Amino acid sequence: MTAETTAKETDSQDFLSPENKIYSHLLKHQKKYFVSLIILIFFFSAWSNFLVGKPVLGGGESYHLLNLIEKGEYTYNPLVLLLAVIPQNLILIIPLLLSLLSLGLLSKLCEKMELPKNISFFFILFLIMSPTFIYSFITLSSYSLFLSLTLLGFLLIMNKNKTLRLFSLIPFISASFFDTSSAIFLLSLQLIYFWENKEKKEQLPVIVVAMTVGVMLLNKLFLKTPLFNGPYHLQRYFPDLISDFGGLNGIGFFTVLVAITGLFVTWKKKNFYYAYLLLLIVIPGYLFNTEIVFILSLILLFFAAVGFVKLFENKWVLTSLKGFTLIILLLGMIFSMLTFLDRVNELSPSPSDQKVLSWIRENTPENTVVLSAPENSYYVKYFSKRDPLFYLNDPDAEEKTETVQLIFSAPYIQDLFPLLEKNKVSFVYITPQMREELPKEQGFLFLLKNERFKLIYSHEGSEVWEFKKESAENAG
């Protein structure tokens, strides 16, 4: 029997058609299922964090923003302003509210844009399952608020009511305040939208674009807003995009593959030109700063949904393989999601970070500098209230990173001590991860054996070392 014959036999096996009872049921009740899935994921990650006693908020950016609020250093970042005005206890639920808001708005926007039901269903499903989305439950992220504001702006501008459309200016202007790259991205979206709807003869587009450009220039020229928000962690291109390679968020490897399929199947299709254009804008941005993985993930998830639908809407010659492939692909995506959920309680800061850094706050003099791995700087500041050597988002971060590398790789005390003294380091905070990554037989960990270093506190592999000042006789 040939494969062609088999195809005829099983033409009815169309997984993504209304005839498929399971799929049509899912499509009909998608909102209920999506909400259930979100609740399930949220409680799973919250529960696993609770079990290990991990702080509710995670990620460098969360603690950077909290540090700013504590110091009263209010920037024009709308998220900082929002956090400054709401009660401290409510801050913990802001990430969850923002994620839910952006998801709801996105779902509404898909309806408004009349995106095919199949595509919008899988787009939302993949988004909920993506590590980017799960991570946003526990992180205060500027990009999360940016996305919500942008989506809200477009929902309002698509409205038939003129007054509501005018109100779109508020979210659009707010969204332009984050950083220059976000403002450029927003401007691109607006230009695409207005170009597509150019037949509508009205003044609003001109006002919206002019306001966005104006705010962007104001930010850049007068408020010195950075080109990119962050970075708040050490950047690695592959892992930051593909969570399965150890990244903080991003999307799963299978989703990337399906997104590539999506790119291939939509290649040269007119409707998708704009999506490519957005990719062309976001990918170079990602190469500069991987913090914008949030936006890149969204675009890739859209292509993944398109790829997935095209892959399984098409008639296959080998229908039995079609079913297998569908199951493997879904299992692969679920597997990526579960792997990430399994890791959520390992993401920084850990319970021992909190305990040891709090110990520093209570047992060391104020105005001292604590040396640790660069990515720990925000936690060091927040929990110990002591200054780290530098922050990853400092303007001179590159130069300071080199200094830290010199410190951690110094082969002799003659090289190390002047560097520590010059940077006024009094304490060193070593995490288990640093112990794993730094060489033991040479360099910094080896030099800790010197008498000028004293282990003053340790808990579950996290250690605090004091770097003693040179005594007068030795100095003499």
Q: How many residues bind other proteins (CB under 8 A)?
A: 32
Reduced to 3 states (helix: H, G, I; strand: E, B; else coil), residue 76 is: coil
Residue 325 as a binder of other proteins (CB under 8 A): the answer is yes
Q: Which two tokens stand for residue 460?
A: 């579950």
Least distance (Å) between residue 439 CB and other proteins: 9
Answer yes or no: are the C-beta atoms of 429 and 408 closer than 8 Å: no
Residue 386 as a binder of other proteins (CB under 8 A): the answer is no
Kindly tell me which residue out of 38, 83, 295, 329 binds other proteins, with binding defined by CB under 8 A: 329
Answer yes or no: are the C-beta atoms of 175 and 186 closer than 8 Å: yes
Residue 445 as a binder of other proteins (CB under 8 A): the answer is no
Residue 443 as a binder of other proteins (CB under 8 A): the answer is no
**Sequence-ordered list of residues with C-beta below 8 angstroms from that of 170, at least 6 positions apart, any chain:** none
Residue 322 as a binder of other proteins (CB under 8 A): the answer is yes
Place of tokens 């890739």: 300
Residue 446 as a binder of other proteins (CB under 8 A): the answer is no
CA-based nearest residue to 262, from 151, 119, 117: 119
| One character per residue 274-313, x = contact with other proteins (rule: CB under 8 A) | -------------------------------------x--
Give the binding range for other proteins (CB under 8 A) out of 11-19, 34-42, 156-164, 336-344. Answer: 336-344
CA-based nearest residue to 103, from 151, 164, 167, 175: 151
Least distance (Å) between residue 245 CB and other proteins: 4
Strands (E), 204-321: none
Residue 328 as a binder of other proteins (CB under 8 A): the answer is yes
Residue 264 as a binder of other proteins (CB under 8 A): the answer is no
Q: How far, CA to CA in Å, does 291 sit from each of 90, 139, 150, 282?
A: 25, 12, 18, 11
Least distance (Å) between residue 34 CB and other proteins: 25
CB of 3 or CB of 90, closer to other proteins: 3
Q: What count of residues does the chain have?
A: 476
Kindly tell me which residue out of 84, 321, 406, 455 binds other proteins, with binding defined by CB under 8 A: 321
Residue 64 as a binder of other proteins (CB under 8 A): the answer is no
Q: What is the 3-state secondary structure (H, E, C) of 288-340?
A: HCHHHHHHHHHHHHHHHHHHHHHHHHCCCCCHHHHHHHHHHHHHHHHHHHHHH
Inter-residue long-range contacts of 192-200, CB under 8 Å, 24+ positions, other chains counted: 192/274, 192/277, 192/278, 193/154, 193/157, 196/274
| One character per residue 220-259, x = contact with other proteins (rule: CB under 8 A) | ----------------x-xx----xxx------xx--x--
Answer yes or no: are the C-beta atoms of 328 and 322 closer than 8 Å: no
- DSSP-assigned letters across all residues of 353-385: HHHHHHHHHHHS-SS-EEE--GGGHHHIIIII-
Other Cβ atoms less than 10 A from the Cβ of 383: the count is: 22
Kindly tell me which residue out of 33, 335, 417, 446 binds other proteins, with binding defined by CB under 8 A: 335
Least distance (Å) between residue 71 CB and other proteins: 35
CB of 39 or CB of 287, closer to other proteins: 287
Give the binding range for other proteins (CB under 8 A) out of 48-56, 183-191, 320-328, 392-400. Answer: 320-328
CA-based Rg of the chain, rounded to a whole angstrom? 26
Positive or negative, the CA dihedral 324, 257, 127, 28 is negative
Q: Which two tokens stand for residue 278?
A: 């957005």
Residue 3 as a binder of other proteins (CB under 8 A): the answer is yes
CB of 134 or CB of 311, closer to other proteins: 311
Residue 1 as a binder of other proteins (CB under 8 A): the answer is yes
CB of 39 or CB of 338, closer to other proteins: 338
CB of 47 or CB of 238, closer to other proteins: 238
Kindly tell me which residue out of 104, 226, 332, 443 binds other proteins, with binding defined by CB under 8 A: 332
Residue 316 as a binder of other proteins (CB under 8 A): the answer is yes
Give the binding range for other proteins (CB under 8 A) out of 3-11, 48-56, 63-71, 415-423. Answer: 3-11
Least distance (Å) between residue 159 CB and other proteins: 42
Answer yes or no: are the C-beta atoms of 309 and 118 closer than 8 Å: yes
| One character per residue 418-437, x = contact with other proteins (rule: CB under 8 A) | ------------------x-
Least distance (Å) between residue 324 CB and other proteins: 6
Q: What is the DSSP letter of 129?
A: H
Place of tokens 């001109």: 206
Interface residues with other proteins (CB under 8 A) are: 1-4, 6, 236, 238-239, 244-246, 253-254, 257, 311, 316-318, 321-322, 324-325, 328-329, 331-332, 335-336, 339, 343, 436, 441
